[in-house]
Amino acid sequence: MRGWGGTIEASSPTEPLAVFGPLLVEFERASHLTSGPKQARARAATVRRFLWQQGLTEPQQISAAAIEGYLAEASQQVSDKTLLNHLSSLRGFCGFLRRRGLLAEDPTADIRLRTPERLLPRYLEAADLAMVLQIARERRIWPEVCLALSTGLRLSELIRLQWPDIDFGRRCLMVRKSKSRRPRLVPLCRCAVIALRFQRRRAGAFLHVFPARQTCPGRWWYVDRPRAINWWLRAIKPIQDAVPLFRSLPGSATGRGWHLFRHTFASRAAQAGVSLYKLAQWLGHADIRMTERYAHLQVGFDEQIEAASPL
């Protein structure tokens, strides 16, 4: 096993985890009914890590004490939000075992975790933005960074973006597959249009807006498939190293990578007076409560406070 966020190597038939192998495969398939393939794999990986670390060989050995011990150790390595996801995965697995008659009671029934602290999203100020764009031009990733800042697209949405999704005439783009599983239209500001036209001159012959790059010593060329996530993580590293706001955030903080551009877009839109309902549509939030994190940026001085004050 490689850390709390890594993968778990396959076990040999002599290892305790091998006993649960068929059950884990079935659990992952069952998880597809309520979540996507990525979430189902993550849930199964959490359960596999729990079973491995606790050395369990039979479903009857899964107890509240074993789960609490696992969560206590995990709490030293992951955020409160991730810890809740771990408990949710273990609770789902216990329910799965109960429905198959392999577990008499749910050991997670009485386990409670603290509610994660809701932090206000961080965003780039004008000076940081200027530095980000300067580095992006020097590193030749200006179209990618500009589009992220101008649309608030998630990294997964940038990776999957295709030229048929872009409508230059109507100045909008279609996100066909998103986290909320709902397609949406995102308007394109002038900077986003410029960035996309620039990128079309570089890679307009391909289906994907940001196609993958095949490399060999001394040269590289485009190939028509989505650009690997490793490229995006390497591309943003010089920006993370140079811009003060990136450096001030912990390495595990949400919104420290490309997601900070999404927070910056949403924050600037809220400051400009865009309604939270419209902003939720642009960002693809299934629940407007997610968008309400930016509401504080719309609040300024209200004259009615004078009438409300008893002094």
Domains of the chain plus CATH, in order, are 16-99 (1.10.150), 126-198+228-298 (1.10.443.10)
Q: What pLDDT, on the 0 to 100 scale, is given for residue 240?
A: 93
Q: What pLDDT, on the 0 to 100 scale, is given for residue 28?
A: 93
Q: Which residue has the higher pLDDT, 216 or 95?
A: 95
Q: What pLDDT, on the 0 to 100 scale, is given for residue 195?
A: 96
One-letter amino acid at 105 equals E
> What's the whole-number average pLDDT of the chain?
87
> pLDDT tens digit string along 152-173?
999 999 999 999 999 999 999 9
Percent of the chain at pLDDT exceeding 70: 90
Would you place residue 16 in the very low, low, confident or very high pLDDT band (cuts 50, 70, 90)? low
Top-ranked range on mean pLDDT: pick from 73-87, 143-157, 241-255: 143-157
Over range 222-249, report the average pLDDT: 91
Q: What pLDDT, on the 0 to 100 scale, is given for residue 21?
A: 87
Would you place residue 254 in the very low, low, confident or very high pLDDT band (cuts 50, 70, 90)? low
Q: Quote the pTM value.
A: 0.74
Top-ranked range on mean pLDDT: pick from 120-134, 135-149, 233-247, 288-302: 135-149
Top-ranked range on mean pLDDT: pick from 96-110, 254-268, 284-298: 96-110
**Pairing of β 211-216 and β 172-175:** unpaired
Would you place residue 253 in the very low, low, confident or very high pLDDT band (cuts 50, 70, 90)? low
> pLDDT tens digit string along 279-297?
999 999 988 888 988 888 8
Q: What pLDDT, on the 0 to 100 scale, is given for residue 260?
A: 93
